[in-house]
A and B are shown apart, each in its own frame.
Chain A
Amino acid sequence: MKKIIISISVLMILSLLTAMGFYHAEPKLTEPPWEQKLEKAKEKKENQESEPLVPIYVKDNVAYSLQNMELSVTFDNGRKWVQVPVEQDSLFAGEYNGNKQELIDQSYILTEKHAVFLYQVDSRIKLLSSPDQGKTWQEYIVTDHFSPIRFRKVTFLNENFGYVIVSGDRTMSQEWTSVFITKDGGETWSETNHSGVTRLIGDGGFVDESTGFLSFGTINPTEPDLYVTQDAGDSWKKADILIPEKYQEIFVMAETPLKEEDHLAMLINQGPNGDYEGGKVKGKFLSKDHGLTWKFLMEVHPNETN
């Protein structure tokens, strides 16, 4: 019995000495409960921030992420992320009703090396560009004054020539569409002459430094409404699209033409309400006069378009 009690006593004293060491080493005050909650919320946020980013792929190895209210890009399949110095909200500025989980289609360019983002801050439309996988960023002003944008598109055809198409100031089915072009890689931008059309723009683009198109009519279109410039936007003419009778009021929305060998090719889709052969079939049209007149070539089924 003596041995047991003495052993317990020794054990108690040793435990007390250890406890005393701990107690003495770190004198602290317990935080009041609401401050603890605040601290926990902060920790939770920090943990969330340290969660790996989920890439949204644009092409092999190149992806972006909008997690944590920040835009980040990766050029090596997510091994290294670069934070883009832009406010996330400005990327969705203007008339945008999405959930901000993905960037607006055509409002950015991500290639193996380049990253370009089109955004709006107050009335200013800007371009943020990196030529070296996000190591350096350059901010350019496309225009100082523009109403909140609806349609937005940026594309570069080569290192120097690029264009921005934006629309805004919408009332019902009318809006103002502007085209800006750059010939020095985005440093300076000039607005082209206005096409004179105030219908809602559906798509647009240039096929070379002088030939460009604007395709109008997104709400219940009955025929394609395509305007073409052959002098880099100085003047715009309505293109003549010869639609066979069979496809009248079926192929109604022109997509941006592309260069094909010695001519231009364009797909015309069925618009939001098309139901011809499932609604996905498009008509392929060709132009041999730089986009002024278009002739029907063939039907293109969805699996052939890519």
Chain B
Amino acid sequence: MKRISGYALFFVSLGLFLLQMGYMIFHDSFNVEYSDNRLFFVINMLIVLCLSFALSLLFTFSKRWKVMGVSGVVAFLLLNIIFGIIHHGKIRNVVSVSPDFKHLFVMKEKTQTNEAIYYRTYFGILAQPKERLPYQIGDEYKVEWLVNDVAAFTYNSPDNKIHQYVGTYGDRGGGGSYYYVGPSIHGKWRGENVTVTTTAEGITVQEDGEPQSFDWDHVVQFGTLAIVLVNNNQAQWTIALNENFLIESQETIPPTGEITLYKATMTDRKPMRLEYHDGD
């Protein structure tokens, strides 16, 4: 049993090693990175831990070799932890898992220049760059999943303006996407102390009786599921289509389901659910 476990651990370690080497050799040509750069160091540590357990299960060593081996492993682990921390200081990884654990929001920032890139993930651990954020990231940021497949990344730029970047994950229902989110939420939507009214002129958000209007030039769409309403080059609100949102192809039939409204602010605000009220 000991022997089998030893070999199993050895092969796990070998497999991880091959993954790590494959990554080092090919990641540049395939434009992929680990979803979180620190995974490199974690995998390194896993390899060495598996390897050391495997060796200790498979063979017997003298006390002297044992001491040397354990010291070596500890040193290796410490080195990886230190390098991981230093690395994270240079490349800040923002990783967030969706509430249903199906999607990963990945953003990486080069701290020296504050430039940030949004990534699409593959198999959970690998990621490919999708696009550069239009503004540099300042000191504060947060990720909020508005629905299971829409994540809003709110951040302040160095000039203290608030921006929102929305990561959306796929279209819903086998290609029946809503290509233009704005027009698809035409009509009046109501939530607790808040309404969203979409007309041909634009979108008006009214919170606690205070209306804010945005014409279509100030509506930025992300993917096929969300829009951000901007004013003075700052994000004000994000609107996402909920998973139960459904629009019929016939204009006369009102949409069903909900939309989510999320205020662009660094203070703690929860996303609000809104239901279709009427088409006025």
A residues neighboring B (CB under 8 Å): 2, 5-6, 8-9, 12-13, 15-17, 19-20, 22-24, 27-36
Q: A27-B90, A33-B31 are in contact. Are A15 and B17 (CB under 8 A)?
A: yes
Q: A5-B58, A30-B31, A32-B132 are in contact. Are A20 and B14 (CB under 8 A)?
A: no
- The reply to whether B20 and A16 form a contact with Cβ atoms under 8 Å apart is yes
**Number of interface residues, chain B, beta carbon within 8 A:** 39
> Using Cβ atoms and an 8 Å threshold, which residues of chain B touch A16?
17, 20, 44, 47-48, 76
B residues neighboring A (CB under 8 Å): 10, 13-14, 17, 20-21, 24, 28, 31-33, 37, 40-41, 44, 47-48, 51, 55, 58-59, 72, 76, 79-80, 83, 86-87, 90-91, 108, 110, 115, 117, 128-132
Q: A24-B83, A32-B129 are in contact. Are A13 and B21 (CB under 8 A)?
A: no
A1 to B17, CA, bound (A): 20
Q: Chain A binding site: helix, strand, loop or mixed by DSSP?
A: helix
In the assembled complex, the CB of B137 is this many whole angstroms from the nearest CB of chain A, namely 12
Q: Chain B binding site: helix, strand, loop or mixed by DSSP?
A: helix
Sample of 18 further A-B pairs with CB below 8 A, known A5-B58, A13-B48: A12-B51, A15-B17, A16-B17, A16-B20, A16-B48, A19-B21, A19-B24, A19-B44, A20-B79, A24-B83, A27-B90, A27-B110, A29-B110, A30-B31, A30-B117, A31-B129, A32-B117, A34-B131
- The reply to whether A6 and B55 form a contact with Cβ atoms under 8 Å apart is yes
Partner of A29, one of B24, B28, B108: B108
Write 22 A-B pairs (CB below 8 A) sorted by A numbering: A5-B10, A9-B55, A13-B76, A15-B17, A16-B48, A20-B40, A20-B79, A22-B24, A23-B40, A27-B37, A27-B87, A27-B90, A27-B91, A29-B33, A29-B91, A29-B108, A29-B110, A30-B32, A30-B129, A31-B117, A32-B129, A32-B131
- The reply to whether A2 and B110 form a contact with Cβ atoms under 8 Å apart is no
- The reply to whether A35 and B132 form a contact with Cβ atoms under 8 Å apart is yes
- The reply to whether A32 and B87 form a contact with Cβ atoms under 8 Å apart is no
In the assembled complex, the CB of A39 is this many whole angstroms from the nearest CB of chain B, namely 12
